[in-house]
């Protein structure tokens, strides 16, 4: 049985659900009674997520998809609808850090690869979710962005990543207005340093020492916790808050979850 049935009868689609923040969002939503559709490119990672959810009494379904490919995204929502009958919640989480390098050395192909996943993938996920959310009478879209590109600009070299995160946030705000009459809320989460896979193995860094601006935080860069990163589960719980009944008058809003990190960098 779900530990907290706040989402009983709701169906949530989560992209990038195999690891990190997507997995945490899936765990949080499923733990509160939602049926979760888990999507990512690597099935083995999705199966690990689903195993944890089922072990805790939750209900989930796997759809492999690359969000940068429109047909994959179309099929993701078709299969979600076919399996569970509707879609109420969409967590736009699939993304990559990509290559971080001096602008002269960053290739157009490297830049485009990050844009294809982070920005084009977000656009396609939202675009193809909207008809299903309208059919359900409304719903919630939660976009996972970053402190980078929204309130923090000190990670020189992250040109492609920062551009996509800023664009994600602007797009979400515009769509919050466009979709409000359809009772579809759109909000943005901006995590700082979180203990998750994208922050530990997800960056292809190249020659950053050439362009780094020196910064020194002897007691740690996060005012609230010092040197301790935030937890993925904290982000997952924030997703649930923004997707649920406690936030029904919140739309077009960014929420920074970074322990104050972005305020001093």
Residues assigned a catalytic role: 161
- Report which of 30, 38, 36 is spatially closest to residue 6, judged by C-alpha positions: 30
Exposure of 168 by Cβ count < 10 A (0-12 exposed, 13-18 middle, 19+ buried)? buried
Measured distance between the N- and C-terminal CA atoms of the chain, rounded to whole angstroms? 43
Residue 214 — φ and ψ, nearest 5°?
-60, 135
Tokens at 76, concatenated? 């993701």
**Sign of the four-CA dihedral 104, 105, 109, 113:** negative
Task: Give every CB contact of residue 220 below 8 A, 6+ residues apart in sequence.
Answer: 226, 227, 228
Residue 254 — φ and ψ, nearest 5°?
-95, 140
Contact status, residue 63 vs residue 77, Cβ threshold 8 Å:
no
CA distances, 224 to each of 32, 153, 229, 260, 264 (Å) = 28, 20, 10, 6, 12
* b/e per residue 72-104 (b: at least 16 CB within 10 A): bbebbbebbbeebebbbbbbbbbbbbbbbbeee
């Amino acid at each position: 049985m779900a530990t907290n049935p706040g989402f009983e009868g709701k169906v949530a689609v989560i992209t990038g659900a195999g690891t990190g923040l997507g997995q945490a969002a899936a765990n949080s939503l499923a733990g509160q009674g939602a049926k979760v559709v888990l999507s990512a490119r690597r099935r083995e990672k999705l199966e690990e997520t689903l195993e944890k959810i089922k072990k805790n009494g939750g209900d989930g379904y796997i759809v492999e998809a690359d969000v940068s490919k429109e047909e994959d995204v179309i099929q993701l929502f078709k299969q979600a609808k076919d399996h569970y009958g509707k879609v109420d919640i969409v967590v736009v989480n699939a993304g990559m850090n990509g290559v971080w390098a001096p602008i002269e050395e960053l290739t157009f192909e490297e830049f485009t690869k990050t844009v294809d996943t982070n920005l084009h993938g977000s656009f396609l996920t939202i675009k193809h979710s909207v008809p299903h959310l309208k059919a359900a009478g409304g719903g919630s879209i939660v976009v996972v962005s970053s402190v980078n590109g929204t309130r923090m600009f000190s990670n020189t070299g992250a040109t492609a990543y920062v551009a996509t995160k800023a664009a994600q946030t602007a797009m979400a705000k515009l769509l919050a207005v466009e979709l409000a009459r359809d009772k579809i809320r759109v909000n943005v989460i901006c995590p700082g340093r979180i203990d998750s896979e994208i922050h530990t193995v997800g960056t292809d860094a190249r020659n950053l020492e050439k362009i780094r601006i020196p910064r020194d935080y002897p007691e740690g860069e996060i005012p609230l916790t010092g040197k301790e990163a935030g937890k993925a589960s904290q982000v997952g719980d924030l997703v649930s808050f923004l997707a649920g009944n406690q936030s029904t008058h919140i739309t077009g809003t960014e929420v920074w979850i970074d322990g104050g990190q972005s305020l001093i960098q």
